[in-house]
Amino acid sequence: MPEIGPGLADRLRALVADEEAPVSLRSGIQQQLRRPHPRSGVGPRVLVLATAAAMLVAVVAVAGGQGPFSSDRGLSVVTPAAQGHAPAAPDLPHGRSGTRVLASDATRTPGIASATLQRLQAAGYVTAGSLDAPERATTTRIYFVPGYEAEARDVARVLGLGESAVNRTPPAVPDPNGAEILVVIGSDLVAPR
């Protein structure tokens, strides 16, 4: 390792010493803070998600042979409902703004998780991030923690899926991030070009 120049740290500090964060940074955070706090007592829900981890893995493993996914090339991230407007929010116990949704990509399609979350966010849902599913899936599944079935059915509607996509048993994910609903994105949400 080269000898550290004694002036570098000082020069770096001086370089940014007068830099002020843009005003828009503060306003953006204030907007986030004004959003309703969707979860109180989220711990048990996370626990429920966590305890069901093995179930999803097992289910996916059993169903793993349902159509090998030959290639991701030539696929777009357009969802079946992507072209239309989100359905109006029905009367939901927790409301869209009180429900956090985590997306899990089981297709290995770049951008599909964020595209799906953007649709849900546009409809009013709170997004809780995304991750890659351990196994690929052909059918999208929507899982919910107890008490969020109505919201899960609404998520299915927003994504243009039938209610058969909604499942009561929540699978576990590495970091549920406090989500009440998990969308495991299957290749049926990925439209061929």
Partner 1 sequence: MDAEVADFGGLFEAHHRDLFRLALLLTGGDRSLAEEAVSQAFVTTLPKWRRGEVLDPLPYLRRAVANQVNGTFRRRRLERREAARHDDREPGSNREGAVDDRDVLWAALRLLPPRQRSAVVLRHYLDLSEADVARILQVSVGTVKSQTARGLGKLRSALGGFDA
Binding site for partner 1 (CB under 8 A): 1-2, 4-9, 11-13, 15-17, 19-22, 24-26, 28-30, 32-33, 37, 39, 42-43, 100, 128-129, 177-178
User: Closest CB to partner 1 among 22 and 192?
Assistant: 22
User: Closest CB to partner 1 among 97 and 177?
Assistant: 177
User: Closest CB to partner 1 among 132 and 163?
Assistant: 132
Extract the runs of DSSP E, i.e. beta strands, from 4-153.
100-105, 126-132, 141-144
User: Closest CB to partner 1 among 43 and 67?
Assistant: 43
Least distance (Å) from partner 1 to the CB of residue 91? Answer: 26
Least distance (Å) from partner 1 to the CB of residue 148? Answer: 17
Least distance (Å) from partner 1 to the CB of residue 4? Answer: 7
Is residue 136 within 8 A of residue 108, CB to CB? The reply is yes
CA–CA–CA angle 191, 119, 122 (5° rounding) = 160
Least distance (Å) from partner 1 to the CB of residue 72? Answer: 17
Three-state DSSP state, 10: helix
Q: How many CA atoms lie within 13 A of 8 on its CB side?
A: 4
Torsion region of 69: left, alpha or beta (phi above 0 gives left; psi -120 to 50 gives alpha): beta
CA–CA gap between residue 4 and residue 106 (Å, rounded): 46
